[in-house]
Amino acid sequence: FIYILKLKEVEARATSVLCILPMVVTSGIFYYTNNYIDWKIGMLCAIGGIVGGIVGAKLLNKLPTHYLKIAFTLFLIYASLKMIWS
């Protein structure tokens, strides 16, 4: 979104989250109708996601973009190494 659509980084993050919403709703309905949801774990994760979303949105306005890029890069490296070693 930043490079192709020329959006600001904050707009790109917000737009990508909005783009995910229809997929989450659609797949959630499918999983619900097939009784695949563990409601206890799902609710705990949902609460964590709500809190994380609020904190993340507030930090997004306060942290310099440079630090966010570094944090995301480190996360991707960590996830990649974990996948390789699994």
Question: pLDDT per residue over 33-81, tens digit each?
Answer: 999 999 999 999 999 999 998 998 888 778 887 888 899 899 999 999 9
Q: Taking the chain, what is the end-to-end CA distance rounded to the nearest angstrom?
A: 31
Contacts of 12 (CB under 8 A, 6+ apart): 1, 2, 5
Which of 1, 5, 29 is closest to 17 using CA atoms? 1
The position carrying tokens 């944090």 is: 71
Q: Indicate the pTM of the whole model.
A: 0.61
Cβ–Cβ contacts within 10 Å for residue 25, how many?
10
